[in-house]
Amino acid sequence: MRPTGRLHLGHYLGVIKNWLKLQEEHQCKFFIADWHALTNKYKETDSLKENIRQMIIDWLSCGIDPEKATLFIQSGVKEHAELSLLFSMITPKSWLELNPSYKDLKFNLYYQYLRDFLAGKQIKIIQTPPPQPYEEALEKSTGKQKSKIFEDYLREAFHKAFYNQKGIDFKGFKDVLIKFGIQKKIAQEVVKNLEEGDVGKDIDTVGFLAYPVLQAADILIYKADTVPVGEDQLPHIELTREIARRFNNLYEPVFPEPQALLTEEAKLPGIDGRKMSKSYNNAIYLSDDEETVNSKVLQMKTDPQRVRKTDPGNPEVCIVFDYHTIFTDSQTVSEINAKCRNAEIGCVECKKILAESLNNFLQPIRERRKEIEADIHRYEKIFEEGTEKARAVASETMSEVRKAMKLWQ
């Protein structure tokens, strides 16, 4: 996990909860990927050490257990860097350039720029009738849902146009802009800015392009057989397998080909309904105190059609209800469901119940956090010991690698 800041509930449900289960069933290695944090945040190293410390506290206070799993810090095992360097010698550049998450990240930056640019010029994209299945979805939806569906369609249209076999397709991007009703002159200006400007330049580094190679080294150095990942990470595991295969064919069979263990992704929206993220300022953190949680819950978006308490609501389109289904007991959830639909409960009352559920969930984590913070050096030491343990395994693998490659030593 990359140490980019405090963990929030989305991280807990998406990753930590799964780790808590895995540490009971497997011999796990969990590491703080501080080198990976540099791939796109290489200018922001002032906060790196503190972020690592916060991650140690977050993991341990959630119950990640050093007795059950090896916990360590990537940069403490220099062998990862050595193996990554050797892998980079045998990895064709095209494998990395075609990596979907590299392309997606670039696309997201370009797309955001496009939106900001058009908003700055007060230009609206003309809503051309979207094809199926969007058309069908649009028909069945109302208000906000409608613009969300259109947004999806728009993104997809640009996404398709964005890349061709040779890389970024600026002409295709411009053509879609014109198709969406943007004047040719403006479309040319956007594309020229994208081609010549600074957008995405921060990730135009060797380190960013090659981070899947480092990731392959992170996995293979421990001869891991299984890697728990979300669906978006599957291409990276495939790349790891290809690198292992290539190495084994070129030299000697040293590495197993690891399997992806697809983890169930419980996606929790932020308090404004968008993806929960530090950059949107919409997250509930594991370290938030009771008061902060109460105030964040009160700000949560609810069913937009429910204007007055006497209007019947629809829990299916309410994020407060999404949270209830995860954090509140099932009987209360079904009561809220019925009462909301019959306008028998107000949103403020409903939110108070949710705040209580969240605080109940977070309370043991907070207590443990206090203990750890009071004796942080002891807990940092646990990670240092874990790093030594990991290093012993990594250095054995590196001896095999050097021997297989017939290196000097």
Is 340 a binder of ligand SF4 (CB under 6 A)?
A: yes
Q: Which residues contact 371 (CB under 8 A, 6 or more apart)?
A: none
Is 357 a binder of ligand SF4 (CB under 6 A)?
A: no
Is position 377 annotated in a ligand binding site?
no
Taking the C-alpha atoms of residue 311 and residue 302, their distance in angstroms, rounded to an integer, is 13
Residue number, 103 or 339, with CB nearest to ligand SF4 = 339
Candidates 6, 241, 306, 391: give the one binding ligand SF4 (CB under 6 A): 306
Is 81 a binder of ligand SF4 (CB under 6 A)?
A: no
383's tokens: 């990670």
For ligand SF4 (CB under 6 A), the number of binding residues is 14
Taking the C-alpha atoms of residue 373 and residue 324, their distance in angstroms, rounded to an integer, is 30
Candidates 37, 191, 320, 398: give the one binding ligand SF4 (CB under 6 A): 320
Is position 148 annotated in a ligand binding site?
no
Annotate 70-90 with DSSP letters as a single string.
EEEEGGG-THHHHHHHHHHHH
Give the type of residue at 26.
H
Residue number, 144 or 403, with CB nearest to ligand SF4 = 144
Is position 270 annotated in a ligand binding site?
no
Strand, coil or helix: 333: helix
Contact between 220 and 258 under an 8 Å Cβ cutoff? The reply is: yes
- Angle between helix 376-404 and helix 347-374 axes, rounded to 10 deg: 80
Give the type of residue at 234.
L
Is 271 a binder of ligand SF4 (CB under 6 A)?
A: no
Residue number, 350 or 398, with CB nearest to ligand SF4 = 350
Is position 268 annotated in a ligand binding site?
yes
Q: Near ligand SF4 by CB under 6 A, which window of 7-15, 128-136, 207-215, 299-307?
A: 299-307
Contact between 55 and 32 under an 8 Å Cβ cutoff? The reply is: yes
Candidates 10, 66, 313, 386: give the one binding ligand SF4 (CB under 6 A): 313
409's tokens: 């030593």
Is position 2 annotated in a ligand binding site?
yes
Residue number, 288 or 303, with CB nearest to ligand SF4 = 303
Look at strands 69-73 and 28-32 and give their pairing: parallel
Candidates 315, 386, 390, 394: give the one binding ligand SF4 (CB under 6 A): 315
Is 12 a binder of ligand SF4 (CB under 6 A)?
A: no
Residue 228, beta-bridge partner list? 261
Contact between 74 and 30 under an 8 Å Cβ cutoff? The reply is: no
**Sole residue written with tokens 């990753």:** 15
Q: Near ligand SF4 by CB under 6 A, which window of 131-139, 246-254, 269-277, 343-351?
A: 343-351
Taking the C-alpha atoms of residue 283 and residue 375, their distance in angstroms, rounded to an integer, is 27
Is position 223 annotated in a ligand binding site?
no
Q: Near ligand SF4 by CB under 6 A, which window of 145-153, 221-229, 316-324, 363-371?
A: 316-324
**Known binding-site residue numbers for ATP:** 2-4, 10-11, 230-232, 268, 275-279
| Binding footprint of ligand SF4 on the chain (CB under 6 A) | 302-303, 306, 313, 315, 318, 320-321, 336, 340, 345, 347, 350-351
**Known binding-site residue numbers for L-tryptophan:** 218
